[in-house]
Chains A and B, each alone.
Chain A
Amino acid sequence: MAERGGGDRGGFGRGFGRGRGDRGRGDRGRGRRGGRRDEEEKWVPVTKLGRLVKEGKITSLEQIYLHSLPVKEHQIVDTLLGGRLKDEVMKIMPVQKQTRAGQRTRFKAFVVVGDSDGHVGLGVKCAKEVATAIRGAIILAKLSVVPVRRGFWGNKIGKPHTVPCKVTGKCGSVTVRLVPAPRGAGIVAARVPKKVLQFAGIEDVYTSSRGSTKTLGNFVKATFDCLMKTYGFLTPDLWLDTRFSKSPFQEYTDLLAKPTKASLIESTERVEA
């Protein structure tokens, strides 16, 4: 392929910026890069958090939540929650825009993901094709996974099964109120929030809603907002002082730092706490 006498082409062998004329479109999926399947499966992290997760230094989502680190790659959630994560399309809605040449229709997809054990996420994506919208919404939902706190209605026997306290969430005109329920009550809610609550892993709850619940977007978002608040509510068992721990970005420097340095950091943290 013109290895000799590259007089007008410049340079020997393969270099960047050559062949600007030929677009090489015929060489689709050539040789070693043709295996697009392995490229898809192999995730190359782009952020530091991604690299830490890929190495295996971070083993659970809780470590990420503890330090409020922003999750920018959905593969992080995939790696940490694995196969337990299920998703469901809540609604596909065609939205239209008027253009000179008629109407341009796009599809808006609402997707809820969850592992039925304390993690839920909600994603919304608009795209020209339904499949693209759903795919994009699943990715966005994974990025927005939040922890859900569960508690008991009465006696603390067995595993937590209901919300720890009465919480309420609001979006637009819709307010959703979740009330703890005894075991066996089941999820007493409308079809839409019931799905979200099932994904969250809440087994029994009473709900009460107000406002224009016909607007599905607001209704779902209000429920989600409510679930986010479960960990924001200060209950008596959280009255004890928290002992701050180092964020994952700090943990590993201390392995290499001298002992004096480590004790200094801990003492300052104790003062802060």
Chain B
Amino acid sequence: MDPDTNDIISFQELSLDKENELEELEEEDELEEYVTVGFLEKPKHPKFLLRHRFPSKTGGAPAWLDPLDLPTGKSSICDFCEEPLQFLLQIYAPISDKESTFHRMLYVFLCPSMICLLQNQYEQWKHREEDPRRSVKVFRCQLPRFNAFYSSEPPRRDGNDKPLIVGAALCSWCGTWKGEKVCSSCKRAPYCSKKHQARHWKSGHKIQCHQIIGNLETNSSSVLREKPPDKVACRLWPEYEMVIEDECAFDLEGSEDISCETSSLVPKHVTDDTYQFLLDKFEADDNKKSWASFQERISKCPSQVLRYSRDLMVNPLWPLSIGRPSLVNIPKCKYCNGSLCYEFQIMPQLLYYLGVKNDSDSLDWGVIVIYTCLASCESNVRYKEEFTWVQLYPTAPVT
């Protein structure tokens, strides 16, 4: 290699390369990003999804980590339609560095109404000071290894595991939120809100209430507490267990051999000059490019529903380029005022598994990205709210 000519060539190329370098970085294979991916599977037994097994699951009722101090009041309802939020999924994401985060669960709730989601999309751009209203809420709960609720030894998985104490009563209609209010006639059925009490009354409690009062007079039985699971299941989203895999386990094995033996109409050595024009027509705008790279990335494992990475170098995988937050849009942690970092994102494949209908007003999202406190701070509030960002598909076709 002749050093002089190389220097001259490289000197000239420096200017060319600067603008192309960015392009080149994008085109090169991404550096190995360590991302964990979640899949859905039918649980072998619903018992495995109870809270003392520390499950990661979707649908059904949440397995509250701290069974007593559940979120109440404003945090449990949609800020737009005032309906209690529905449980979407929870993941078990402990952090090994700190003692206080030995057990760590993240819960995602959202209002199933698309109208609220559209309004949420608008409000999420607002600054924290304006106290924006949200219809998607994420809660983080963490416990140290030695706590009052669970044994400090790992669950033995032999069917005999039990939590140390019984949790608070949950609403008889949704089985999700704390049942603070009680039915005024039988004084036994707990409810989380007036709306759920009214619905439960209409759909059967009216008849049962009298029976319960009758039972109470004869003998005191707390049978009511055991009922919720089968009756509420039909109203909530179908329950699945989330299985965790590493994304790199799906990398394609080797590349197919390069064969230039394909027949083409025009001989190969003829080159053209007007391809930039063609490129513009066929390939490009930003939205299409991000969609193409999104598709490529998920094609490794098409049935993924969740992507997780606490690595600071990893960016969320956005399907579109519009509607992404910039650094200004991501606020500071509500409790410790520290910065937030991307933790996980929920993919649209989940909608397919949940079996949501596909009408014009049914739930649909591009991606929901969750940012959590980098330090995973402690505070008196047991279930701390974290920041979510929803990216929806544009309703009007974007040219």
Q: Chain B interface secondary structure, helix, strand, loop or mixed?
A: loop
Is the beta-carbon distance between B274 and A216 smaller than 8 angstroms?
Answer: no
Is the beta-carbon distance between B272 and A129 smaller than 8 angstroms?
Answer: no
Q: Of all chain B residues, which has the CB nearest A8?
A: B96
Is the beta-carbon distance between A16 and B101 smaller than 8 angstroms?
Answer: no
Is the beta-carbon distance between B10 and A100 smaller than 8 angstroms?
Answer: yes
Known A17-B94, A39-B301; contact A12-B351, beta-carbon cutoff 8 A: no
CB 8 Å contact bits of A237-273 with B (1 = contact, 0 = none): 0000000000101101100100000000000000000
The reply to whether the CB of B204 lies closer than 8 angstroms to some CB of chain A is: no
Using C-beta atoms within 8 Å of the partner chain, give the interface range for chain A. Answer: 35 or more
Known A24-B248, A100-B17; contact A13-B38, beta-carbon cutoff 8 A: no
Query: Among B243, B283, B349, which residue has its beta carbon within 8 angstroms of that of A124?
Result: B283
Q: Of all chain B residues, which has the CB nearest A58?
A: B358
**A-B CB contact pairs (8 Å), 26 listed:** A6-B154, A11-B103, A14-B244, A16-B93, A17-B310, A27-B249, A33-B39, A33-B250, A44-B303, A46-B319, A46-B349, A52-B358, A73-B295, A89-B263, A91-B268, A92-B260, A92-B264, A92-B268, A95-B275, A100-B17, A123-B282, A124-B279, A131-B255, A218-B278, A249-B358, A252-B359
Bound form: Cα–Cα A10–B105 in Å: 12
Across chains A and B, the number of contacting residue pairs, with CB separation under 8 Å, is 217
Count of B residues near A, CB < 8 Å?
Answer: 91
* Residues of B near any A CB (own CB < 8 A): 9-10, 13, 16-17, 20, 24, 32, 34, 36, 38-39, 53-54, 56, 91-97, 101-104, 145, 153-155, 243-246, 248-251, 253, 255-260, 262-266, 268, 270-275, 277-279, 281-283, 291, 295, 298, 301-303, 308-311, 319, 343-344, 347-349, 351-353, 357-362, 364, 393, 397
User: Which residues of the other chain, B, contact A151 by a CB distance below 8 angstroms?
Assistant: none
Bound form: Cα–Cα A252–B359 in Å: 6
Known A12-B54, A16-B92, A17-B36; contact A46-B274, beta-carbon cutoff 8 A: no
In the complex, besides A91-B265, A134-B262, A192-B266, 19 extra interface pairs with C-beta distance below 8 angstroms are A7-B145, A11-B104, A13-B53, A24-B246, A28-B251, A39-B302, A45-B352, A46-B348, A48-B358, A72-B291, A93-B268, A100-B17, A122-B282, A124-B283, A130-B259, A131-B259, A215-B272, A215-B274, A216-B265
